[in-house]
Structure 1
């Protein structure tokens, strides 16, 4: 039987990756909950995806064949956890059970699974180029032109490109964007309804299922989602009460540990990401 109190993890992340924020927020919220059994150590490994470090041979062949962040590896894991949903659910199940209370677990997992089925790029960029609305290119295509690739690396790149072509290549096509935003709006409306049913809507600082439940993985994932929607011009798809909630909670101690007062969307005026030392450790 595995003793998860001996677990040690490495979380590969990018500070301004929406999905990396979800995983980090889950960790910070988990530490505040009752019955928390945090692992002795979680190491952060910065992946500069703006410099395509997520497409390196080591990352694709050893860490995550999808070439995405976040990813979590661990001494007790059978295989890497290659997306924020599996990472957060694992942490909740093994270390922070209060984040996934049994009474609400079916609703939480349903909403999260539906959200994570939405192509992330479709709701992250309101102004794609004309080329991107036809087919969003991948830097993998240029890398594959090299003649010095090892067979294993070439195969990994081809796998990554296949994954890209199924999801990200079409993410900015108008029909895909429209469906993604419709799906997102429906999910956020359901979350607002959960807030009304739990009484949380009476207090903009309250977690979705109320103070008697506390934060859940639904909150850890959807706070960054709502903030990102507001930043990129998609606020109209977010119920007003969730916008008010996000404005209040972005000042919370746990969220400050994730972004340290920065917005969720990176801008070069902020300076080099690799120099943001406060973002590089838990």
Structure 2
């Protein structure tokens, strides 16, 4: 079977991009009968608003977010990190071993019920990142653009207001903190004493890729008080692995941290 190739559109400081890149790094062996896939990376400069370009919104991800995967093997791009993770697991079974697939999937879903933007940027001293993007979308909408691009920008604006602008409200952030505490309590219960990886698996799974990245972002955003000591140690150990070091190149998970 001919090996498939994929392009991962990402940004080095996008938490969901890091989760997917970490999944790819730890993916293990392909399923029986399948050749090793090739993954190319294309960095989208979200600080320069490349995610708002007509090409990206109309051909890659209408939500104007990273990560996204494009490939000739699929009819359309994949642009949700959980969806991408499940697709990767269908190619690389060790990401979600059959014996633990349901629990891994449910814990990843629970993790992604948390608004990462809220916990990363609420109270930020680096200006108003949500407001900046909103203003840029509105600026483009005032220009003479194609009907297709206008529709795409209007959809992006609605998504941005729902997920980012609203996500910085104090009541909403408090809700996300509570949800984080509940999630991490459950995860700690699923990390056996002495185990290196979640659920006591012998090698990291997709759950580890998402959870380690999330904990690292909490710590890098100054929310270490939310992380139980045992999970902090678990994350620190993962951040010393070759795979994490190769992805992050010495960077933290957020700029200016």
What TM-score comes out, normalization by structure 2 length? Answer: 0.91
What do the CA deviations read for 1:245-272 (whole angstroms, capped 9, x no partner)? 111110101101110122111129xxxx
1:126 Cα offset (Å): 4.2
Question: Are 2:39 and 1:49 equivalent residues in the alignment?
Answer: no
For residues 210-229 of structure 1, what are the structure 2 equivalents within 5 Å?
210-212=200-202, 214-229=203-218
In the alignment, structure 2 segments of 5+ residues that lack a partner are none
Secondary structure at the counterpart of residue 167 of structure 1: helix
Among 190, 194, 200, the residue aligned to 1:202? 194
Aligned counterpart, 2:60:
63
For residues 118-157 of structure 1, what are the structure 2 equivalents within 5 Å?
118-128=114-124, 138=134, 139-146=136-143, 148-157=144-153
What do the CA deviations read for 1:116-145 (whole angstroms, capped 9, x no partner)? 22222111124247x969978612122212
CA contact (8 A) 1:136 1:168 kept: no
CA contact (8 A) 1:22 1:220 kept: yes
1:104 Cα offset (Å): 1.6
Aligned counterpart, 1:244:
233
- Classify 1:266/1:173 alpha carbon distance in 2 versus 1 (closer, same or farther; 3 Å): same
Question: Are 2:224 and 1:232 equivalent residues in the alignment?
Answer: no
Aligned counterpart, 1:277:
none
- Classify 1:194/1:156 alpha carbon distance in 2 versus 1 (closer, same or farther; 3 Å): same
- Classify 1:238/1:11 alpha carbon distance in 2 versus 1 (closer, same or farther; 3 Å): same
Secondary structure at the counterpart of residue 15 of structure 1: coil
Aligned counterpart, 1:81:
78
Counterpart Cα distance in 1 of 2:133 and 2:181: 27
What TM-score comes out, normalization by structure 1 length? Answer: 0.83
- Classify 1:62/1:79 alpha carbon distance in 2 versus 1 (closer, same or farther; 3 Å): same
For residues 153-164 of structure 1, what are the structure 2 equivalents within 5 Å?
153-164=149-160
Question: Are 2:163 and 1:167 equivalent residues in the alignment?
Answer: yes
Counterpart Cα distance in 2 of 1:189 and 1:159: 36
CA contact (8 A) 1:9 1:41 kept: yes
CA contact (8 A) 1:135 1:170 kept: no
CA contact (8 A) 1:194 1:209 kept: yes
After superposition, the CA RMSD in angstroms is 2.3
Counterpart Cα distance in 1 of 2:129 and 2:52: 23
CA contact (8 A) 1:11 1:44 kept: yes
In the alignment, structure 1 segments of 5+ residues that lack a partner are 269-282
- Classify 1:17/1:137 alpha carbon distance in 2 versus 1 (closer, same or farther; 3 Å): closer
Query: Aligned pairs, how many?
Result: 254
Counterpart Cα distance in 1 of 2:139 and 2:211: 35
CA contact (8 A) 1:136 1:169 kept: no
CA contact (8 A) 2:130 2:164 kept: no
Secondary structure at the counterpart of residue 83 of structure 2: helix
Counterpart Cα distance in 2 of 1:172 and 1:208: 30
